[in-house]
Structure 1
């Protein structure tokens, strides 16, 4: 490791990599443009490689620059986490945990987990963020989250996972739907209906799983609306704008004017999974994992 590099160099580099414009980056850093250029050239001399390709019109990262940006983002994220942990310790707290979740986690394990953890570890601060599956994975990779509750098919090597709940799907229809009273309702009875689904932004693998349900029933759904929020889906269905397919656990905890038809007979199942970064050194990681495992054993 070359110890000539200082944090200020990396900070200057990060801002320039974000702006890709020397004047704008210099303005953000409150230094002169020539001063910024000298700092970047000094870095390139220390690393013995070019970090930015410069022309009269453009500034672009080289492959080495892209690699360095990724590492610098991780470094500054870790420094931010260190500051947060030190502040919590100074306040008499054990640590701070940042949890990401999707809506169905609130209807299953999350409330029990938070209540139990707070009872046993009252000095842990917990921050909750409702986020899409993909965003949780991204933020875990940057150590901007400590845990995530997701529905995904597989995770990157640096992400560890623990299955929480595997469940079937349910069809969501308006309370006054004309097919409601039909005996032995099947999904194919709704093949001409507009469908409201979780979008690919919620999770690509989850979206593909739901679409496989339609393929098994030999029809392509007419998807008119997509969202990443369960309550939005239920409200849209209640207004007669379509029907939906959701994880069965989402029927709990919402007061909406819809009915649920269980799709227990189909082969597809969806799993709510707890994920975390194996490289995360937050001291609260083990405490939450221990509590999750206790809850799963009790169930």
Structure 2
């Protein structure tokens, strides 16, 4: 089609005025110029849009239908321009966030609530993604920001310390050690362990195995679960013990006793990670909020 917005806007003004001279004046153009544009538009559409006499101008039935849809289309186009401008400045848009269990059980929900109040027009798309898969997703541009265990050692990524947990022991309420107020990691050396699967908990298992080796043992894993709820359920059922992050205290789970591990000072860090340089205005707004507003408050 060989018509453009000039033709559409001219037609819509003329449809309101039903007078070539007044419509031309509104658009700061000559009456012949207006007539030329309307003639070109009618030839392209292929049907008369106006009935003209020496005394009046009126819309044909086709012209009235064309007016309705042109107005709707122009409104959508103007809305698209507004959205594009707001997206370019970070006032609206979509932010794809990946998270793992410790993040969502810790401070992440609070951060997301605060950010949604700060920028309600930025839509948050949240996905559970284990730490190692978050790293892959960031490199492949499938997520914008990841909340993962530890830093992502890559020159293409920024890792911002977001949260930190202590290691705690999870015991069935019937376990003999459940009455001990604080434990050492070595106290669990001979216990059957329940851990997350290697697929979903690979980064945490690696760090936990290193920690156990430093304390002189390798955990005897008798059962695995893909989720935190699965781990809690197996521990509550008496299948074994586990070592988890202290954010577990934010959850309510029957049948489990949580005990600190006094000889394990090593933290479990959660980092927010994003690629650099930042290309998305929404990511820029979010990371600035995280570093300046939330970071200062936290």
TM-score range with shorter-chain normalisation?
0.5 to 0.7
| Compared CA separation, residues 203 and 266, structure 1 to 2 (3 A) | same
Q: CA deviation at 1:188?
A: 2.6
1:156 is paired with a residue whose SS is coil
Q: Which of 134, 157, 160 in structure 2 is aligned with 1:159?
A: 157
Give the equivalent residue in structure 2 for 1:187: 185
* Residue of 196, 204, 207 corresponding to 1:206: 204
| Aligned residue in 1 for 2:83 | 89
TM-score, structure 2 normalization? 0.65
Of stretches 98-107 and 224-233 in structure 1, the one that deviates more from structure 2 is: 224-233
Q: How big is the shift at 1:268?
A: 2.2
Task: Give the C-alpha shift of residue 153 in structure 1.
Answer: 5.1
Q: Which residue of 1 aligns with 2:50?
A: none
Unaligned ranges ≥5, structure 2: 1-79
Residue 294 of structure 2 corresponds to which residue in structure 1? 295
Aligned pair count? Answer: 214
Larger Rg: 2
Instruction: Kindly report structure 1 stretches of 4+ aligned residues shifted beyond 4 Å.
Output: none
DSSP-derived class of the 2:176 partner: coil
Where does structure 1 lack aligned partners over 5 or more consecutive residues? 1-85
The separation in 1 between residues aligned to 2:125 and 2:203, in whole angstroms, is 27
Structure 1 residue aligned with 2:167? 169
Conserved in 1, the CA contact under 8 Å of 2:151 and 2:271? no
Asked if the contact 1:113/1:291 (under 8 Å) is kept, the reply is no
Give the Å deviation of 1:253.
2.5
Give the C-alpha shift of residue 224 in structure 1.
Answer: 1.6
Structure 2 matches for 1:1-299, cutoff 5 A? 89=83, 94-152=92-150, 154-182=152-180, 185-202=183-200, 204-293=202-291, 294-299=293-298
Is the CA contact (8 Å cut-off) linking 2:194 and 2:235 kept in structure 1?
yes
For normalisation by structure 1, the TM-score amounts to 0.65
Query: SS in structure 2 opposite 1:261?
Result: strand
Distance verdict in 2 for CA 1:185–1:162, change over 3 Å: closer
CA contact (8 A) 1:97 1:126 kept: yes
Q: Cα distance, 1:225 vs. partner?
A: 2.2
Mapped contact 1:152–1:206 kept (Cα < 8 A): no
In structure 1, C-alpha distance between the alignment counterparts of 2:267 and 2:147, rounded to whole Å? 17
Q: Distance in 2 between matches of 1:119 and 1:209?
A: 36
- Deviation, structure 1 residue 132: 0.6
Distance (whole Å) between structure 1 residues aligned to residue 159 and residue 93 of structure 2: 22
